[in-house]
Structure 1
C-alpha cells in the first residue's frame, strides 16, 4: 500500500510542480552515464559491425544494472531505517520519473510562439522536444510536430513508467527510463548509431509494446470524456496504429489524429536526411495551434484514467493475494 501511495503522491507532485530546473534530476544522471559510456566504449572497440553491436549491448547491460540497482539499494536501506523514510524517498523518485507537467509546459511554449506569430521561435521551441529538423517547417508542420510528440510521449513519458511502477515500484520504473533514455540518445538509424544503438532501440520497442497499446486504448476512452471524436479515434487507431517506423509510436498518434480529425505523420528530415513515413489519420480539417492545447488535455485525461485503472487493478490484486 505504501508503494501505491508513493505512486499517487508522486503523480500529484508532478502535476503541481513539474521538474524544477534547480533540482538535480536522476534522468539527467542516467543520460550522463549513457554519454560517458558512448564515448568510452567506442574508443575501446575494434572496427566492425559486430564490435559495435557488442559494445552497444554492453552499454545497455551497464545502464540497466545501475538504473535498477541504485534506487533499489537506496530504498532497501531506507526500509531498514524506517518504512516512512522509504515511502518519502519512493514518492520523490516517482515524482521525478513522471513528466506530465513538463511535457505540457514544453509543448505549450510552441503553442505560445505560434499564437504570437513567431514562427522562428516556434521552430526553436519545437526543436527542444523532437528529433526531426525544424528550421524549414511551416506553422502547420510545427503544430503537427508538437501534437505528435505529446501524443507519443503520453505513453513513453507517463503511462509506460506508471505501468512499470505498479509492477516493481520506482526501481523498475527507473530501469524503464534507462531503456527509454538510451533509445532517445543512441537509438538512431544513422551512420553513427545504426549498430551501436541497435540493442537499445530494440529493447525500447519491447519495453513499450504493452504500455503503448494500453495507452492507446485508454486514450480513446479519454477522448470520449473530453467530447472529442471518440468513434473516429477508435477507427483511426485500428486502421493506422502501425503507420510508423516504430511499432509503438502510432498507437497513440493514431488515436490523437482520429480524435482531433486531423492528419499526422508523413515525411520529415532527420539530421539532413529525408525519412519517408506513412500518414496517420484523415485530412478532414487543417491543423491549428489550438490542437496542441487539446492534445495536452487528452494527455492529462489519459494519465488520470490510467492511474485510476492501474490503482484499481493493484488493489484488487492485493486483496486476492491476501
Structure 2
C-alpha cells in the first residue's frame, strides 16, 4: 500500500502540479514564517536577539511540522488514512510546478525581456530587473537544477526515511531557508540557524542528486564531462550543497552557471560553475527539465527496487 500511495502521489504531481487555487501546506508555512519574521523585527533589534529568535523559529516550526500531520495520521483510519498519506507525499514534491514555471519564464522572455524578468522574479530570490536574456535563461536553469534536489529528491529522501512527516519536516526547513536564509544585512542573524539546518538536511540529497544526474548524463553522451564538472565545481557555490546539481547540469549542457547577483539590494559575489563560453539558449531550459524528470524517475526506481527486495527478505 505504501508503494502504491507513493506512485499515485508522484503521478498526481506530474498531472496536476500545484494549482494556484488549491490550498498548499507550503503557503501556510510561508504565512507563519512571515508572521514570525514581522514579530521578530518588531521586538528584537540586536543581532543576538535576532539569532535567538531565529533559533526558536526553527524549533517551533519543526515541532508544528511533525506534530500536526502526525496527529492527523494518528487519528485517521482506513481509506482516510491512506488518502491523507498520499496527499502529504503529493504536496511535498514539485516537479510539475518547476516544469511549468521554467516554461513560463521561457515563453515570457520570447515575448519580451521585461516580461521574462518579471516572470523569473516569481521563482528566484535575486533581483531580476537588470538581467539580460542569457542571464534570465541561466537563472531559470540554476533554479530547476537546484530544486531538482530541494524540491524533489530531498523531500522524497525524507519521505522514504520517515514517511509523510519527513516530507513536512523537510519542507518546513527548506521554506524557512528560502525566505530568511540569506547572507544579507537584514537576514544574517535571523536566518542563520535555518540556513545551517537546511544545509545539514540537504547534505545527502544534494550529493545523491548530483550522482543521479551524472548517470543521466550517459544518455546525453556527456558522462565523463559531467562527472569532471561535479568534481571540479561541487564546492563552487556559497551553499555547500547547491554546487552538486548545478555542476552536474553545467556538465550535461556544456554551459557555465553561477556568478554574482543582487539580493534585496545587496550584491552577493558567487563563483562561476563551468568553463564553457557557450551562449545559453531556451533549449537548454528544456533539456534541464528532461534531466530533472529523469533524475526523479531514476531515484524512484531505485527506491522501488530496494523496497521490493526488503519485503522479500
Q: TM-score range by the shorter chain?
A: over 0.9
State how far apart, in whole Å, the 1-side matches of 2:100 and 2:175 are. Answer: 20
Q: Counterpart in 1 of 2:195?
A: 201
**Residues 102-129 of structure 1, C-alpha deviation per residue, up to 9 Å, x if partnerless?**
001001111112333x111111111111
User: Contact 2:145–2:245 at 8 Å: present in 1 too?
Assistant: yes
State how far apart, in whole Å, the 2-side matches of 1:89 and 1:183 are. Answer: 26
**Residues 4-40 of structure 1, C-alpha deviation per residue, up to 9 Å, x if partnerless?**
3222211111001101122111110111111111222
Q: Counterpart in 2 of 1:75?
A: 73
Match of 1:126 among 120, 123, 133: 120
Match of 2:176 among 155, 162, 182: 182
| 2:100 is the alignment partner of 1:105 | yes
Question: 1:314 Cα deviation (Å)?
Answer: 2.9
State how far apart, in whole Å, the 2-side matches of 1:257 and 1:265 are. Answer: 10
Partner-residue secondary structure (3-state), 1:244: coil
Match of 2:270 among 256, 272, 277: 277
State how far apart, in whole Å, the 2-side matches of 1:207 and 1:92 are. Answer: 22
Structure 2 CA distance for partners of 1:198 and 1:184, relative to 1, 3 Å? same
Q: Counterpart in 1 of 2:247?
A: 254
The number of equivalent residue pairs is 313
Matches within 5 A, 1:161-176: 161-176=155-170
Matches within 5 A, 1:222-301: 222-225=216-219, 227-301=220-294
| 2:109 is the alignment partner of 1:114 | yes
Partner-residue secondary structure (3-state), 1:7: helix
Partner-residue secondary structure (3-state), 1:274: strand
Match of 1:49 among 40, 47, 50: 47
TM-score norm. by structure 2 comes to: 0.96
Structure 2 CA distance for partners of 1:22 and 1:228, relative to 1, 3 Å? farther
State how far apart, in whole Å, the 2-side matches of 1:241 and 1:143 are. Answer: 21
State how far apart, in whole Å, the 2-side matches of 1:48 and 1:114 are. Answer: 42
Following TM superposition, the consecutive aligned residue runs of length 4 or more in structure 1 with deviations greater than 4 angstroms are none
| 2:5 is the alignment partner of 1:6 | yes
Partner-residue secondary structure (3-state), 1:243: coil
Structure 1 residue ranges without an equivalent (≥5): none
| 2:32 is the alignment partner of 1:39 | no
State how far apart, in whole Å, the 1-side matches of 2:197 and 2:293 are. Answer: 27
Q: Counterpart in 2 of 1:86?
A: 81
Question: 1:187 Cα deviation (Å)?
Answer: 0.5
Match of 2:56 among 55, 58, 61: 58
TM-score norm. by structure 1 comes to: 0.94
User: Contact 1:111–1:290 at 8 Å: present in 2 too?
Assistant: no
State how far apart, in whole Å, the 1-side matches of 2:143 and 2:178 are. Answer: 13
**Residues 213-250 of structure 1, C-alpha deviation per residue, up to 9 Å, x if partnerless?**
0001001112223x252221111011101000000011
Question: 1:276 Cα deviation (Å)?
Answer: 1.3
| 2:43 is the alignment partner of 1:24 | no
**Residues 268-318 of structure 1, C-alpha deviation per residue, up to 9 Å, x if partnerless?**
122222221111012142111110011000101001111111222233334
**Residues 37-71 of structure 1, C-alpha deviation per residue, up to 9 Å, x if partnerless?**
122234343x4222211110101011001011111
